[in-house]
Amino acid sequence: MLDIIDVGGLKSGDAGAVARIGAELGRACRDVGFFYVRNHGIPDALLSGIFKTSQAFFASPRADKDELSISRSKHNRGYAGLSSESLDQVHADNKEAFNVGLDLKPDDPEVVAGKPFRGVNVWPGTPGFRDTTLAYFNAVWRLGVELHQAIAADLGLPPRFFDDKLDRPMATLRLLHYPPRAADRAESIGAGEHTDYGSITLLLTDDAGGLGVRRRDGTWIEAPPIPGAFVCNIGDSLMRWTNDIYVSTPHRVKNPPGRDRYSVAFFLDPNPEVSLACLPGCDGGRPPKYPPILAADYLRQRLDATYGKR
């Protein structure tokens, strides 16, 4: 069973509470790299609302969804259809998705300048979609920044070390739908084995199950849903930042038999101009394992691999 971490003390700003949560989080990151967070303060109504919005969107006609295809976006936003991705770069994923990024206006200077991952969102006609997804995006973004304050405490960094690296992030809110496994198939891979690209991921799942996590010894364990809690994991950007003090963990999703599966993932990638270089104190007296790279360049490399350089 993955660790369940009560993060209620993060909002208090109490240094002792942040240090305690940081120590628990750090142990989980050094161990399996996955953990649950509860008592996070995001209202139940918003958690249920994002699922209702997601289900309504995916139930809309395929032609309407295709009008918002991610293939038309240079900034990783919009609809990704069934079998359009291959996270393990071998098998097509049996899922569909919709991406929402940081909500920028068309006249934002970075949008006008054509900066990487600085585009405008595309919006379906699903009633309430924009308001609900943006409310959820902002709530989970705040939680992600708070979790980085605990990470900073664990790594011996200043409490607000990550704040200016996550204040205009390349974050992606991803609504996901996994159709039921066909009756004549013993297994269906909704998301192939992969590690996430960013700093941390906050995942909200329905009660269908199907998420598998590979432990450090190579064995696979299930990460069963816990109502109202997020499943969190570190990504490759944080692994590079910490020089493998934290190591990202491969995971996968299998489609459930006889029912649909819905989940909502929030990938907190840093600001595009941030350097993914070894953080202060993380070298451990040894040379950094990874060469510095801008966060935008790293994300582009990973997306090109997943989408076949669309």
Range with the poorest average pLDDT among 51-55, 107-111, 191-195, 199-203: 191-195
- Contact between residue 211 and residue 222 where contact means Cβ atoms under 8 Å apart: yes
Whether domain 3-307 has CATH 3.40.50.10420: the reply is no
Mean pLDDT (whole number) for 284-301: 92
- Note the pLDDT tens digit of each residue in 92-116: 889 999 999 999 999 999 999 999 8
- 3-state SS assignment for residue 232: strand
Query: For 189, how many CA atoms within 13 A lie in the half-sphere containing its CB?
Result: 16
Mean pLDDT of 283-287: 83
Beta bridge partners of 101: 172
Q: Do residues 147 and 155 lie in contact, with contact meaning Cβ atoms separated by under 8 Å?
A: no
pTM score of the predicted model: 0.95
Rounded to whole angstroms, the Cα distance separating 233 from 217 reads: 17
Which residue's structure tokens are 């969804």? 65
Indicate the pLDDT class of residue 78, thresholds 50, 70 and 90: very high
How far apart (Å, rounded) are the C-alpha atoms in residues 310 and 301?
12
**Whether pLDDT at 190 is above 90:** no
State how far the Cα of 38 lies from the Cα of 51, in Å rounded to an integer.
Answer: 18
> Secondary structure of the chain: what % helix, strand, coil (to 5)?
30, 20, 45
What is the pLDDT, as a whole number, of residue 310? 46
pLDDT at 116: 87
- Residue-wise pLDDT for 207-216, tens only, equals 999 999 999 9
Q: List helix spans (H) across the chain.
A: 15-31, 44-58, 62-66, 109-112, 129-155, 236-241, 295-307
Q: What is the pLDDT of residue 87?
A: 83
Q: Where residue 309 falls among pLDDT bands split at 50, 70, 90?
A: very low
Tokens of 156: 């011996």
Q: Compute the mean pLDDT over every residue in the chain, rounded to the nearest whole number.
A: 93
At 133-157, the pLDDT tens digits run 999 999 999 999 999 999 999 999 9
Structure tokens at 212: 């598998």
Strands 251-254 and 189-194: antiparallel
Whether the predicted pLDDT of 28 surpasses 60? yes
Range 206-215 burial, b when 16+ CB lie within 10 A, else e? bebebbbbbe
Residue 183 has a pLDDT of 66
- Tokens in use for 151? 């990470």
Q: In the chain, what are the domain boundaries?
A: 3-307
Higher pLDDT, 305 or 154: 154
Q: Give exposure, 168-197, as e/b (b: 16+ Cβ within 10 Å).
A: bbbbbbbbbbbbebeeeeeebbbbbbbbbb
Report the half-sphere exposure of 255 (CA within 13 A, side-chain side): 24
Beta pairing, strands 3-6 & 230-234:
unpaired
pLDDT at position 188 is 82
Q: Dump pLDDT digits (tens) for 241-269.
A: 999 999 999 999 999 888 999 999 999 99
Residue 113's pLDDT is what? 94
Q: pLDDT band at 182, cuts 50/70/90?
A: confident
| Dist CA 34 CA 308 (whole Å) | 28
H or E stretch including 69?
none
196 pLDDT above the threshold of 50: yes
The two structure tokens encoding residue 299: 């994300």
Residue 201, pLDDT score: 98
